[in-house]
Amino acid sequence: MKINTHYSCFLLLLSFFYLGLYSSKAQSKEAKSKPNIVIIYLDDLGYGDLSCYGATALQTPNIDALAKGGIRFTDGYATSATCTPSRYGMLTGQYPWRNKNAKILPGTAPLLLTTTQETIPKMLKKEGYQTAVIGKWHLGLGSGDTDWNKKITPGPNEVGFDESYIMAATQDRVPTVYIENGTVANLDANDPISVNYDTNFEGEPTALSNPELLKMKWDHGHNNSIVNGIPRIGFMKGGETAKWKDTDMASSFLTKAQNYVKTHKEKPFFLYYAMQQPHVPRTPSAQFAGKSGLGPRGDVILEADWCVGEFVKTLENEGILENTLIVFSSDNGPVLNDGYADDAVEKTGDHKPAGKLRGGKYSLFEGGTRVPFITYWKGKIKPGVSNAIVFQLDLLASFASLTGEQKIISDSKNYWPVLLGKSTKGRESLILEADGNTALRHENWFMIPPYNGAAFNKNVSTELGKSSEYQLYDLRNDVGQQQNLASSKKKELAKCIAIYNDLKGDE
Ligand code: NG6
Ligand code: CA
């Protein structure tokens, strides 16, 4: 009897042992089947800015190669026509217009996300991913009144990223320093940084007081502190050794991204590689300066394309290209003059940054939010062009479905089969945002409700899409949104209004 009990205990233990072994084996197999995920995200790159989207004035062979070997979406959207809300929408899976603070932020703004909110990196972390952001952040840092000489928190590392190497806001906003895991990189403690968006620091030169120091001219805004001869938004003092070199920014982010890949390839990773081009100030490295013939804006697009090529080469050299899903897109539509007199307007020639679309950055028209959108996964995605509507808001739920996590509570929906080219049934309806206002894309219809205010922004020379009347466009026949059908297509308009109200949660 006694022996029997011992024996069955032994058997039980043995079976637990094997079960444990089996399940850990199953887990590691599962972990291996999870692809790395990289979002390559450009800043202000327009629908017409790439040769794979029809540009002829410049060639972007490396990004074209992703489009050729993956899916090029004709109807891919950012959530907003400006950066902060757009990135907020993509990373959280929540419509940015639900958060009234999701608008273009100054460099001193506190973190826009809450640390309890769901995010792509947080969700993937739960699924065993390593996570990192390299590049432009622009979602706020700290909890207000940040001391840039101490640990800056909360930030990316508190919303799901294990590692971060970022610029706080934009290339044209102070502080003009890189921040690595919450600490300003290369800061000399004897030369502390101070930042202020209201008042200058005594004795510090600005674009207005010392125009002779400028190497780049400003057109509107951008007349505060001067860094590297470039006038910025906001005032900054100190931090000399930490200041970035603008012409090196592309290679700084690229090198970090490449090193990340090299040092994290043993386990699945999520990398949000947020490049700064072609946002202002456009500062190509010597290798690309003057190369496009379109001025610095064209030059930095060539530079960004080169970075994409180098980055993909690294994935290939490290032997993980076939286990890496790449999503390539942009945060909002294009603009030529965004505050600096940098020849972008004068040299654009026949190049149309928004392609056939109307409007651009800041606009409710399609040029504001319809952007290049490419998915690439060597050997897994069958190459092609898709007209399905895809939306950056849906990346969260789509990635979740891929990795096994299904319980996503947000506006984000799973369109994984569409992103993979296995289905052409994209979103039917989505809400787009520009400067706090919203519009609806439903199937082939685009509806903009009436809004007061200027229809045109003279500074940036962009149609904003606002009108005191309802606007309804049939994108199937009129992708350039020239013909307002609101008064002739009453039934369709009523349907769009109903869907819009339903999505927005209004009466
Ligand atoms: C605007 C800036 C513009 C750009 C934009 C943010 C002025 C006059 N204009 O306020 O230059 O920085 O903010 O762009 O200051 S975004 O892509 O990050 O949304
Ligand atoms: Ca942007």
Per-domain residue ranges for the chain?
Answer: 34-188+243-427, 194-237
- C-alpha angle 51/377/475, rounded to 5°? 50
Q: Which residue among 44, 166, 230, 233 is best mutated to probe the pocket of ligand 1, counting the most ligand atoms within 8 A of its Cβ?
A: 233
Closest to 345 (Cα-Cα) out of 276, 406, 298, 275: 298
> Are 445 and 472 contacting, i.e. CB atoms less than 8 angstroms apart?
yes
Spatial separation of the C-alpha atoms in residues 340 and 281, rounded to whole Å = 7
CB 368 within 8 A of CB 353: no
CATH number of 34-188+243-427: 3.40.720.10
Output the residue whose Cα is nearest ligand 1's atom 13. Answer: 104
Q: Which of 338, 361, 460 to mutate to test the pocket of ligand 1 (most atoms within 8 A of CB)?
A: 338
From the number of C-beta atoms within 10 Å of its C-beta (0-12, 13-18, 19+), residue 397 rates as: buried
What is the structure's pLDDT at 6? 54
Tens of each residue's pLDDT in the chain, 507 residues: 444 545 554 444 444 444 444 443 333 444 447 999 999 999 999 999 999 999 999 999 999 999 999 999 999 999 999 999 999 999 999 999 999 999 999 999 999 999 999 999 999 999 999 999 999 999 999 999 999 999 999 999 999 999 999 999 999 999 999 999 999 999 999 999 999 999 999 999 999 999 999 999 999 999 999 999 999 999 999 999 999 999 999 999 999 999 999 999 999 999 999 999 999 999 999 999 999 999 999 999 999 999 999 999 999 999 999 999 999 999 999 999 999 999 999 999 999 999 999 999 999 999 999 999 999 999 999 999 999 999 999 999 999 998 776 666 789 999 999 999 999 999 999 999 999 999 999 999 999 999 999 999 999 999 999 999 999 999 999 999 999 999 999 999 999 999 999 999 954
Q: Residue 220 CA: which ligand 1 atom is closest?
A: 8
Rounded to whole angstroms, how far apart are CA atoms 319 and 38? 15
CA distance 72 to 74: 6
Amino acid at 390: V
Given a contact cutoff of 8 angstroms between Cβ atoms, the answer to whether 363 and 415 are in contact is no
Cβ 249 vs Cβ 197: under 8 Å = no
Distance CA 296, CA 472 (A): 36
> What is the token pair recorded at 255?
């090198």
- Sheet containing strand 178-180, strands side by side: 183-184, 178-180, 163-167, 130-136, 269-274, 36-42, 324-330, 373-376, 71-77, 384-391
DSSP reduced 3-state for 125 = helix
Q: Are 47 and 333 in contact (CB under 8 A)?
A: yes
* Tokens standing for residue 69: 């070997």
DSSP 8-state code for residue 105: P
CB under 6 Å to ligand 1: residues? Answer: 43-44, 82-83, 104, 138, 170, 172, 220-222, 233, 279-280, 332, 338-339
Ligand nearest to the CA of 338: 1
Cα–Cα distance, 239 to 201 (Å, whole number): 14
- Distance (angstroms) between ligand 2 centre and the Cα of 28 equals 39
